[in-house]
Amino acid sequence: MAQLIDDDPRIIEFDVRTDEMLVNMGPQHPSTHGVLRLVLRTDGEIVSEVEPHIGYLHRCAEKIGENLTARQWIPYTDRMDYLAAMNMNLGWSLAVEKLMHYQVSERARHLRVLIAEMGRIASHLVGMGAYGLDLGTFSPFLYAFREREKILDLFEEACGARLTYSYITVGGLTADLPPGWLRKCEEFLDQFEPVIKEYHALLTTNAIFVKRTAAIGVMSPELAIEYGCSGPVLRGSGVDQDMRRDGESIYTAMYDGYAFEVAVMKNGHYPRDHQYPPVPSDAVIGDCWHRFFVRMLEVVQSMDLVRQAIDRYAACKGPLGEPVKLTEKIPAGDAYLETECPKGQMGFYLISDGSAIPWRVRARSSSFSNLAVTHELCRGCLIADVPAIVGSLDIVMGEIDR
């Protein structure tokens, strides 16, 4: 009998009693994407419970918003999701414009699409590179930052800032593009397109990466919906939802006339003339690999949208229009608008009492909802899988803590 137990490879130390242990991960941990603290209840290598502690980066953004005019709050939205500040500017601007019944010019609309989709590429590049770091590979991070740097250079040329842009603002954009910018942007896209193959070779199809992510942290569509998950996290679970198509008319009107398909597995891959790596046989819908892959698909999708936007913007001869006054009064009432930011659906809620300063502003953070699901995904996984799962959610703490 003893012989039999000794031979069983699953039982390694059958006479060693294991105890539950609380392991603290963070807040200063390289794989937690900012100051996130996770308390793991572990038994050996198995995690029985994960409890995220957030708030280390809380900067009272909503309270500050109650003391500034709508346009003055734009820089604070930059600092929420600082990896996709353009998209955050856009979300807040549209929410204010919704309440003001304001419509931007055609030229500003196409420029906004162009800028927002470039921002999405930049954000997904960081998401991809940092995910590689979480799983212990350094080089994809450098490859991703090499290309992101070029996007930041383009942004810098357009608005002067490299991280916190405040470029898109209520009523339009702060400035038009400098001459020659579109050509540089096209050059970047031409150069960037073949590079995506490198990313697929480095990560997507890498055997170790697939082993670390396929069938890990599987999230059912029902769970994702109940927790209010959104963006690549939701679409990675096979739910066909994208605010650019399903959102409110003020937002979807921005993408009127643009051809794109939501990046979700059942829709196939878009654009169709691009080469995509095969889905590994171990991967199941809703696992870490799929959440990662949706982002890679969206990079290609955004690239295609940028090309379309360049053509439309260049064809627009009308004026760009001026942003609203800094002290513009906002009509009394409330408006809530969700936009599709790279991390998910970012909602801005604004209540005005008729003056220039909002009575209440609220930022509904996508990463906040996406992170709330962690304890469900990590139940019963290995300690080494925790960074893989948290990394696949692609969270930004600035947006969660606000």
Q: Does 54 bind another protein (CB under 8 A)?
A: yes
Task: Count the Cβ atoms, other than its own, within 10 Å of residue 4.
Answer: 7
Site for another protein in 165-194 (CB under 8 A): none
Of 149 and 334, which CB lies nearer to another protein in the complex structure?
A: 334
Using CB under 8 A, which of 25, 36, 99, 341 touches another protein? Answer: 99
Contact segment (CB under 8 A) with another protein among 50-58, 114-122, 260-268, 277-285 equals 50-58
Give least dist CB 390 to another protein, A. 15
The reply on whether position 32 binds another protein by CB under 8 A is no
| Closest distance of CB 211 from another protein, Å | 30
In degrees and rounded to multiples of 5, residue 157 shows phi and psi of: -65, -35
- Binds another protein by CB under 8 A, chosen from 106, 349, 356, 383: 349
Q: How far is the CB of 160 from another protein (least distance, A)?
A: 32
Report whether 346 contacts 358 (CB < 8 A): no
379 interacts with another protein by CB under 8 A: no
Q: How far apart are CA 203 and CA 29, in angstroms?
A: 22
DSSP 44: T
d(CA 280, CA 204): 9
Query: Near another protein by CB under 8 A, which window of 55-63, 181-189, 272-280, 391-399?
Result: 55-63
Q: Which span (179-187, 212-220, 259-267, 344-352) binds another protein, by CB under 8 A? A: 344-352
Are the C-beta atoms of 358 and 66 separated by less than 8 Å? yes
- In the bound state with another protein, the residue whose beta carbon lies nearer, of 33 and 362, is 362
Q: Which is nearer to another protein, 98 or 290 (CB)?
A: 98
Residue 98 within binding range of another protein, rule CB under 8 A: yes
For strands 344-352 and 333-341, give the pairing.
antiparallel
**Which of 276/349 has CB closer to another protein?**
349
Q: Is 372 in the site for another protein (CB under 8 A)?
A: yes
218-237 binders of another protein (CB under 8 A)? 222, 225-229
Tokens of 357: 């300063």
Answer for which of 115, 118, 362, 396 binds another protein (CB under 8 A) is 362
Interface pick for another protein out of 49, 106, 193, 246 (rule CB under 8 A): 246
Residues 6+ apart with CB under 8 A from 91: 77, 337, 338, 339, 341, 346, 347, 348
Q: What is the residue whose two structure tokens read 């979700």?
A: 264
For the chain, the distance separating the N- and C-terminal CA atoms, rounded to the nearest angstrom, is 60
- Using the rule CB under 8 A, is 334 a contact of another protein? yes
Nearer to another protein, 303 or 373 (CB): 373
Neighbours of 293 (CB within 10 A): 26
Instruction: Give 357's DSSP letter.
Output: S
Q: Which is nearer to another protein, 40 or 229 (CB)?
A: 229
- Write out the two tokens for 349: 């809620």
The single-letter DSSP state of residue 382 is: B
| Residue closer to another protein (CB basis): 159 or 243 | 243
DSSP characters over 230-244: -THHHHHTT----HH
> Count residues contacting another protein (CB under 8 A)?
38
CB 54 → another protein: shortest distance, Å?
6
- Which of 258, 349, 338, 363 lies closest to 304 in space, CA to CA? 258
Out of 78, 97, 338, 394, the only residue in the binding site for another protein (CB under 8 A) is 338
Q: Considering only 69-77, 120-128, 157-165, 347-355, which stretch makes contact with another protein by CB under 8 A?
A: 347-355
Please state whether the peptide bond connecting residue 271 to the residue before it is cis, i.e. omega within 30 degrees of 0: yes
**Pairwise CA distance, residues 402 & 80, whole Å:** 6
CA dihedral 118, 224, 366, 156 (to 10 degrees): -20
d(C-alpha 341, C-alpha 236), whole Å: 15
Residue partners of 330: CB distance under 8 A and separation at least 6? 70, 96, 99, 100, 350, 352, 354, 355, 356, 358
49 binds another protein (CB under 8 A): no
**Neighbour count for residue 83 (Cβ, 10 Å):** 24
Report, in Å, the least distance between residue 83 CB and another protein: 20
The answer to whether 360 contacts another protein (rule: CB under 8 A) is yes
> Which residues would be at the binding site for another protein (CB under 8 A)?
54-55, 58, 60, 62-63, 98-99, 222, 225-229, 239, 241, 246, 333-336, 338, 345, 347, 349, 351, 353, 359-360, 362, 364, 368-369, 372-373, 376, 401-402
